Amino acid sequence: MSASCVTGCMETDSFAPPASRQPVQTLTIIALGDSLTEGYGLKEYQAYPALLEAKLQKVGFSCSVINAGISGETSSGLLSRINRILSLKPDIVILCTGANDGLGGINHHLISSNISKIVQTFKEHQATVILTGMKMLVNYGPSYTEPYNRLYAEIAEQEQLLFMPFFLEGVAGKPELNLADGIHPNSKGYQIIAASVYPYVLKAMQMVRRR
């Protein structure tokens, strides 16, 4: 993904919902992933999809953000349930997957293949995909972590996606923003994540509106 595309996602503050006199398209946004999306250990309203929906609706957008995260899921598991997600007819998909694959030491080629297939399937069904990157723990060693950390940007570049380089930016490694396990965000952490995802969703909405 070129720097201009990533930067462009941040230049959407002036994007406003349609005027009330115009027909309003209610958008279906699917937040898709594992426990980081589901909101492990928290109430559903505290996880980022609910916070994002509230933020969008507060400024006048007609949309529904569906939390389709499943704790413990891998990219292979997500690929296996993609038809159920398609039945929801998503306009926009926020894709955050692969963390459990990495923690399990799954070959990065398989992770990349799975994510690419997921992305391509959504694109075939006219859904705009926002891909969020992940980073692996350094104790897995550079021979694993380096190709793992690159694969998200490589997929975004190849598929020309809106790309959020790191889903946990500003949250990872900060005890005050995570649960006691040090892995999953707490309610304060999800507020930061929702704010970080927001400009990418605005950009995706612009793309949907132009279709």
What CATH number does residue 197 fall under? 3.40.50.1110
Report d(CA 190, CA 203) in Å as an integer: 20
pLDDT tens-place string over residues 170-187? 999 999 999 999 999 999
Residue of 7, 1, 3 lying closest to 199 (CA atoms):
7
Does 11 map to a domain?
no
Measure CA 66 to chain center.
Answer: 12
Does 77 map to a domain?
yes
Q: What is the mean pLDDT of residues 29-58?
A: 98
pLDDT tens-place string over residues 74-85? 999 999 999 999
Does 1 map to a domain?
no
Burial (0-12, 13-18, 19+ Cβ within 10 Å), 143: exposed
Label residues 33-61 b or e (16+ Cβ within 10 Å = b). bbbbbbbbbbeeebbbbbbbbebbeeeeb
How much is the pLDDT for 3?
A: 35
Report d(CA 65, CA 94) in Å as an integer: 10
DSSP summary character for residue 175: G
The mean pLDDT value of the chain amounts to: 91
Which residues are the active-site residues? 35, 181, 184
Burial (0-12, 13-18, 19+ Cβ within 10 Å), 8: middle
Does 190 map to a domain?
yes
Does 202 map to a domain?
yes
Does 19 map to a domain?
no
Q: pTM for the complete prediction? A: 0.90
How much is the pLDDT for 5?
A: 47
Domain count for the chain:
1
Report d(CA 164, CA 166) in Å as an integer: 6
Both structure tokens of 176: 């005050």
How much is the pLDDT for 17?
A: 72
Report d(CA 199, CA 173) in Å as an integer: 23
State the residue range of the domain holding 30.
26-210
Does 160 map to a domain?
yes
Does 15 map to a domain?
no
Give, for 194, the enclosing helix (H) or strand (E).
helix 187-210
